[in-house]
Chains A and B, each alone.
Chain A
Amino acid sequence: MLHVRGLEAWYGESHVLHGVNLEVAEGEVVTLLGRNGAGKSTTIKAIMGVLDSRKGSIRFQGTETIALPPDRIARLGIAWCPEERGIFASLTVKENLLLPPVIAPGGVALDRIYALFPNLKERLSSQGTKLSGGEQQMLAIARIMRTGAKLLLLDEPTEGLAPVIIQQIGRTIRALKEAGLTVLLVEQNFRFAQRLADRHYVMEDGRIVDMIPAAGLEANMDRLHAYLGV
């Protein structure tokens, strides 16, 4: 579904991605692991098209997207939940939730979203940024579930959150997988990633340095610990 080949990216003069190669098949949950500053968020942003300067090849369902603007990429069926969550202060919770336009049929219905995140339903008319960190994260995920996007790019959705909320987000991602969606998940919380993912890519210094299938994880624990420095 997603084929990334030789992806390079820059912030101004600084060269951050040095030829990233990765693949995600339809219906998979794949994680991107790696230390802080390895280039995980940059990879996600490059796929979404929000970096000024990138090179290489990104094909999504057969379409080359490297030269497309982000709105066109989104309309192909890719949605992004950024690391900083990106909840809008000048919008209510409901406006935040309904902001991303539906781009294809098959998105998760609002009723189902409210069932998954009851807190949101109770606070629809609050200002978006008045929500707690956990609720903001739920809102950030919920709003891209509605759109019918087929590939979700989730950047550290559990960062800084309490265990109950992490569980809730885990259940949500599992539900998305069961619904046939494809997820590329950036995670620092390796325990969390372990329970959800089919495969793990490991990034270091702007390159993919390893790929470990879920089945091979136990056997490769030492290797992974060395990469992540835990």
Chain B
Amino acid sequence: MSELWYELEPFLQQGTLGLVNGAFYAILSLGLAVIFGMLNVVNFAHGAQFMLGAFVAWMLLNWAGIGYWGALVLAPLLVGLLGVVIERTMIARLYKLDHLYGLLLTFGLALIIEGTMRNAFGSSGLPYQVPEAFRIPPVDLGYMLMPAYRFWIVVVSLVVCLGTWYAIEKTKLGSYLRAAVERPQLVQAFGINVPLMMTATYGAGVALAAFAGVLAAPVYSVNPAMGANFIIIVFAVVVIGGMGSILGSIVTGYILGVIEGFTRVFYPEASATVVFVIMAIVLLVRPTGLFGRA
């Protein structure tokens, strides 16, 4: 028993810590999946919008004296609003064209946003303290002590992901969204303002990214590259889960975080690349992704 436990414990510990990264993968890939499902746009600016969420939290704190809890609400609203403007003025013009144009546009936007932030704030990173409420002893999970703020990240991400899933799969508004993903024209012919829904969906997806950015601010340094680092892995997560599947993107996000954690135990050098290895295998075996429909 104790022999076996000795072997297993590091896996359990690293797997649990992996859930923290998994929480970000899940929220970010969920937002990408929702946007892709409704707009047919691969939102390459997602990482930049995540980073903006963290920066807005920093600005709110340092320029307006608004702390973490206020930022958790305000930053997603402000960045989501920017998303609404971007959709109305730019993305909406591309719906009739190939996917590729939306991807190129949002990629360009990502570069502009990141470049602007780098000019304004430098690339070294700004500090953001762990909020007061979490400067408490770590949570005792029995097999490890988990810093309270990291524990909070996992919990709140689960709530947000499951809440979003519920809203889409089980509510009336969600039924409009699912229907519009299938046949936007018919839904509009029923009297529903589908263009407005698309704007709102993009805004909501962007707000999710910004929310994740605020969550990340106290654990990663707030810097212009933080989104770019994350988003590459998140795109791999989306490919593995299957583009456009809501539940698939959530589950895959957490699982890949955990797998990264495991990898850190038996072969730490590979922990940064294991996601891409899995992506390659999934693409070969099941090109539509684990949860994707053909």
Contacts and interface: CB of A to CB of B under 8 A. Distances in A.
A52 to B, nearest CB: 8
A88 B179 contact: yes
Nearest to A85: B186
Interface string B208-230: 00000000000000000000000
A48 B189 contact: yes
B194 interface: yes
B182 A101 contact: no
A50 B190 contact: no
Contacts, number: 60
Given A82-B186, A89-B182, A90-B181, A74 B175 contact: no
Contacts of A48: 189
B188 A99 contact: no
A91 B192 contact: no
A141 B172 CA distance: 20
Contact of A99 (B176, B181, B193, B194): B176
A48 B194 CA distance: 15
Nearest to B170: A95
A49 interface: yes
A103 B185 contact: no
Contacts of A88: 178-179, 182-183
Contacts of B176: 99
Contacts of A103: 191
B233 to A, nearest CB: 28
Contacts of B187: 99
Given A95-B175, A99-B175, A99-B176, A90 B191 contact: no
A50 B189 contact: yes
Contact of A74 (B172, B179, B189): B189
Contacts of B175: 91, 95, 98-99
B191 A100 contact: yes
A71 B188 contact: yes
Given A86-B183, A89-B182, A80 B191 contact: no
Given A70-B185, A91-B175, A99-B190, 5 more contacts: A82-B186, A86-B183, A99-B179, A101-B192, A147-B190
